[in-house]
């Protein structure tokens, strides 16, 4: 997957980019530009490194006058849009983050020009990473701008308001101040919680989920306040609490109707193949019995305890379902867990464990052996 992502900077991407540069920049030397791009280190660079490298080279071809260079970038984007770059390049929103990155590298000194550029560029390529140094340097000033963005007519700018101030944005620098105290972020989320765009509402949920990792009670209090307000806020609240639900937080589980599971019983939990190799699927099954005299809402999950290199185990929770089980019902459930090679996980030979989780409480556990 890492190779796939870095190769998004493909021949087709550079054809589109250099065509745009030739049409906007006077005396642009396409061959020289490509020679500088494909230097001796290019093949070893990962996606973000390639993005930075391209932006650094591009800087030398744009005007040294920062406001003028932003005008050039805006003209380049207009040319790319007019020539339907989305039909030629995969993930244009991602690969053209070279333009927001240019602002991040070169525009921190010119707040006014950069803010205007964020508004015009983010509908083409998201500026969520690039705004973060501005938040760190100009916190009060920048958060005032972000609050205004929550009422912007363009959904991409409204999403930027939420996404840009996430405390733990993936790929982006952490906002340590907001990890410690997310208070400045809350008015932004309040302003967007009823947004018409699902794209924006998902960002609000992700921001709250970030907050839950450092300040769980803040997210719980907001979830309690927002739940039941509307269908849209209910979706935000549920998505925002996903980390707390997986962690088995009792207050959050009860907020969504998942009570203590004392009337649920696991029977006949078994692993079909307790010795597997990398590339195989772990198969297991069990029966879930409700011996109460009423139906019970159940959040059903399982956890895999992955063996690490130093001999300890790390736990990862996987959701099976959320549903009601009728009084006296007995349900047979089977699952497969893939152990195919993925770039985000390294497997180690030895004993692993799988356990069942009902409404946040772990029940049965069984061991299996993985051979790498």
Beta bridge partners of 264: 290
How many Cβ atoms from other residues are within 10 Å of residue 28's Cβ? 14
- Cβ atoms of 67 and 110 within 8 Å: the answer is yes
Shortest CA distance to 289 belongs to which of 244, 331, 335? 331
- Nearest Cα to Cα of residue 258 among 301, 222, 221: 301
* pLDDT above 80 (res 86): yes
Helices (H) and strands (E) in the chain, counts: 18, 8
Count of other CB atoms within 10 angstroms of residue 72: 18
For the segment 33-69, what is each residue's pLDDT rounded down to a tens digit? 999 999 999 999 999 999 999 999 999 999 999 999 9
What pLDDT score was predicted for residue 1? 42
CA dist 167 and 180 (Å) reads 9
- Distance CA(115)–CA(66), nearest Å, equals 13
CA–CA distance, 323 with 296 (Å, rounded to integer):
8
Buried b / exposed e over 192-229, threshold 16 CB at 10 Å, is bbebeeeebbbbbbbbbbbbbebbbebbbebbeebbee
Per-residue pLDDT averaged across 304-318, rounded? 96
| Tens-digit pLDDT profile for residues 204-241 | 999 999 999 999 999 999 999 999 999 999 999 999 99
Tell me which CATH code domain 264-371 carries: 2.60.40.10
Residue 336's SS3 state is strand
328: DSSP letter: T
Q: What is the pLDDT of residue 79?
A: 98
Which pairs with CB-CB distance under 8 Å and at least 24 residues apart come from 293-296?
293/327, 294/327, 295/324, 295/325, 295/326, 295/327, 296/259, 296/261, 296/263, 296/264, 296/324, 296/325
pLDDT score at 294: 95
**What Å distances lie between residue 152 and 55, 80, 126, 269, 333, CA to CA?**
28, 24, 15, 54, 48
Query: What pLDDT, on the 0 to 100 scale, is given for residue 3?
Result: 52
Return phi, psi of residue 244, to 5°: -65, -35
Q: Start-end ranges of CATH 2.60.40.10 in the chain?
A: 264-371
Residue 344: predicted pLDDT: 82
Q: What SS3 state is found at 275?
A: strand
**pTM (2 d.p.):** 0.92
For residue 364, CA distances in Å to 278, 286, 297, 354, 358 come to: 24, 10, 19, 8, 10
Burial of 275 (0-12, 13-18, 19+ CB in 10 A): exposed
CA distance 127 to 121: 7
DSSP bridge pairs for 296: 325
Using the predicted structure, report yes or no on whether residue 274 has a pLDDT greater than 90.
yes
Tell me the average pLDDT across 190-196: 98
Contacts of 142 (CB under 8 A, 6+ apart): 131, 134, 135
pLDDT per position as a tens digit, 136-154: 999 999 999 999 999 999 9
Q: What stretches of 25-154 show up as alpha helix (H) in DSSP?
A: 30-37, 47-59, 66-82, 92-95, 98-106, 111-121, 132-137, 139-149
User: What is the mean pLDDT of the segment spanning 121-144?
Assistant: 98
Beta strand extents in the chain (DSSP E only):
264-271, 275-277, 281-290, 296-307, 313-325, 330-338, 350-358, 361-371
Q: Which CATH architecture has domain 2-255?
A: Alpha Horseshoe (1.25)
Q: Count the helix, strand and coil residues of the chain and give each as a percent rounded to the nearest 5.
A: 50, 20, 30
Domain with CATH 1.25.40.290 in the chain: 2-255
Mean pLDDT for the stretch of residues 26-30: 95
Q: Is the pLDDT of residue 2 over 70?
A: no
């Amino acid at each position: 997957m890492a190779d796939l992502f870095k190769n998004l900077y493909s021949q087709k991407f550079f054809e589109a980019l250099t065509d745009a540069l030739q049409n906007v920049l006077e005396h642009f030397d396409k061959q020289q530009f490509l020679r500088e791009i494909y230097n001796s280190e290019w093949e070893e660079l990962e996606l973000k490194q390639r993005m930075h490298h391209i932006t650094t080279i591009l800087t030398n071809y744009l005007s040294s006058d920062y406001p003028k260079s932003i005008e050039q970038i805006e003209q380049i984007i207009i040319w790319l849009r007019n020539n339907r770059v989305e039909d030629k390049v995969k993930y244009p929103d991602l690969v053209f983050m070279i333009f927001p990155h240019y602002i991040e590298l070169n525009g921190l000194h010119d707040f006014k020009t950069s803010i205007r550029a964020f508004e015009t560029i983010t509908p083409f390529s998201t500026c969520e990473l690039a705004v973060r140094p501005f938040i760190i340097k100009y916190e009060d000033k920048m958060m005032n701008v972000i609050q205004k963005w929550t009422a912007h007519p363009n959904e991409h700018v409204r999403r930027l308001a939420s996404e840009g101030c996430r405390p733990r944005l993936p790929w982006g620098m952490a906002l340590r101040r907001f990890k410690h105290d997310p208070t400045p972020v809350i008015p932004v989320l309040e302003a967007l919680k009823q947004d018409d765009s699902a794209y924006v509402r998902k960002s609000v949920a992700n921001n709250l989920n970030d907050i839950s990792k450092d300040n769980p009670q803040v997210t719980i209090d907001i979830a309690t306040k927002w739940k039941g307000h509307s269908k849209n806020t209910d979706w935000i609240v549920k998505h925002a609490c996903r980390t707390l639900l997986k962690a088995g937080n009792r207050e959050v589980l009860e907020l969504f109707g998942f009570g203590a599971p004392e009337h649920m019983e696991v029977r006949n939990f078994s692993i079909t193949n307790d010795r597997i190799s990398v590339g195989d699927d772990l198969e297991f099954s069990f029966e879930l019995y409700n011996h109460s005299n009423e139906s019970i809402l159940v959040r059903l999950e399982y956890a895999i305890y992955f063996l690490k290199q130093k001999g300890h185990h790390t736990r990862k929770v996987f959701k099976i379902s959320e549903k009601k089980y009728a009084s006296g019902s007995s349900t047979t459930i089977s699952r497969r867990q893939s152990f195919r090679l993925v770039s985000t996980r390294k497997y180690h030979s030895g004993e692993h464990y799988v356990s069942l989780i009902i409404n946040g409480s772990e029940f049965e556990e069984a061991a299996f052996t993985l051979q790498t």
